[in-house]
Structure 1
């Protein structure tokens, strides 16, 4: 297999390299903070994410209408390769931008997408996945957390259960949670995904 860049890929790589040389941090202040979990690290990560988003490099494969380049996976790989040569801040956005927000983009209504996609891409809000449970780990089919309609007829949902070992939960603003809404359905079915405010008590 030939892993050499095509002429188009080489041109894109040079474009990325030039942009990173002009915009990426030249050195990391203090101790490395891989996930950007400290307040200083998180602020640096958000600032770097915002700069990438403004230039179209935050989510290269996303459609242009949502701030991406409409690019291909190889271009995303090229950016990642080139970015790794610079002392950039940690990336606490991977789960949100890799899994949570694409789900919102695919299934949510336009109002919800407009509310959440841009802020997530710009690093203003961080998402996590609330999948793992005490008895089932990340086996989604084994989910026991349940969601039931509130008995007051309001149409609200009441979620009961326990989610543990959630990467990035401590600094996330929102999370997507898988709940069993039909306990009589086969275990891979009868489930619903909700998004919740991680700051909600």
Structure 2
């Protein structure tokens, strides 16, 4: 009984019609926090970006699973490609950390390199998951460029994060919102089927 309830809760989360918006805003928020941590502590940001690597991977898998449930179509070989993207990113990050540990590169440069690796991997993920992941990748690239160009200035990335969020939500409103009604109706039908099975 508890196992069935747990499965239903996971299904309920994945079937949430606003899940893509939640993931998009959550990842943008995590990127923004990483940018702020980089201003506060060069060492802390290294470990922050290291922990973000699996979080970005898991978020992309959840997003694809939700899209597959909503459309009824699986993306062939998605998990294989995503695993290659993020495993290679993780290995690159670990090698960069070893270079830092060996004092070959400085702490600040290490954080920026990891930041750029994650931006590149997120952009690659956009080829499979669409415009919002492209936007997150571009946001990471822009914040890395801004950090390099304007060293020591806190809060400048706010001027980038707001347009990225607006563009990501604008895309949903004008290109995908006509399908929201269908998603709601499908969610209600799925709930009714689930209740009938019980």
TM-score, normalisation: structure 2: 0.26
Which of the pair has the greater relative contact order for Cα pairs under 8 Å at 6+ separation? 2
Structure holding more strand per residue = 1
Structure holding more helix per residue = 2
